[in-house]
Amino acid sequence: MTQQQRQTLDDLLRHGPLDIGGDVAEQRAVFHEMIASIPLPEDVSVKPGLLGGVPVVTVETPGDDPSLVLLYFHGGAYALGSAADSAGLAADVARRSGARAVSVDYRLAPEHPFPAAVDDAVAAYRALLDQGVPSTAVAFVGESAGGGLVVATLVALKDAGLPQPASAAVFSPWADLTLTGDSLAGKAEADPALTPQGLRTRAGDYLGPADPASPLASPVFADLTGLPPLLIQVGSHEILLDDAVRLAARAGAHDVQVDLQIWPGLPHVFQGFAALVDEADAALHSAAAFTKSHWAGREGAPTVIPAGRGPARD
């Protein structure tokens, strides 16, 4: 990444119209307008539907394997965003992973506080299983609040006795709604996208009277034993850096295979700017390689050959 790329992205986010802690109705409109200003590639198809009674958007790209599913969870601090708004980033991940993405339109706060989002995520996944999709053919992907929701959902699946998906990849996860990470203050000046006060406002909307340290609200405090392989990507210029670091440490302490990637000089959910920043493109390729590697052992899944090596010969 060039310094100019980093500065351009920083300026774009720092001077943008989105206020994560602002009036919910206004910021939902702002968020949607920002996303809508970047058209989807012409070869991406988006189809709304229902999964377990939960609205979803299925995102497909040419050449994907319909038997493989990325269950995708959008960001927006549990109050903003939608499955349709996330279609661009979901398509980017799906294209590189060779799978179709199903983006979950979980209910938002403050109208639908915790644990509505977790309940919707579990319902959507359970419906996939009921349709005959094996758990080994499903991978979870989530960004920001959606990243925290991914891990919370995995914990809820374990509590419900449901099988875990093949893997999970999370981008800049919001995993601690107690807001006690050191980077909340330490990275406040460097972070061009999020503010501590904005997150406090949205955490209050989502939690209502619930305990912010509840494992299904803040999975940094959960028992993560038995979760599938986990990839965590985070930028070093974001106030949620410590959420990612502590989540990785928690997973490792509970014997979960975890890959923590800290990308220097990059902001919150930088993966959404692959057309602008070289490292964002590289991070998406890394996430896809991780996801594909955990499908490789599944019967009928594509064989993944490490870069620089060909198939064995007799």
Torsion of CA 84, 88, 92, 97, to 10 degrees: 10
- Hey, what are 165's tokens? 């998906």
- The 8-class DSSP code of residue 161 comes to T
Residue 299 designated active-site: no
Catalytic residue from among 144, 183, 214, 218: 144
- Cβ-based burial of 308 (10 A; exposed 0-12, middle 13-18, buried ≥19): exposed
Active site (annotated) includes residue 218: no
- Using DSSP, how many helices (H) and how many strands (E) does the chain show? 9, 8
Q: Return the H-helix or E-strand segment holding 96.
A: helix 87-97
251 DSSP assignment: H
- Longest Cα–Cα distance of the chain, Å, equals 65
Q: Of 74, 237, 268, 294, which is the active-site residue?
A: 268
| 238 in catalytic set | yes
Catalytic residue among 238, 279, 286, 294: 238
**Which tokens belong to 86?**
């996330």
Q: Which residues are catalytic, by number?
A: 144, 238, 268
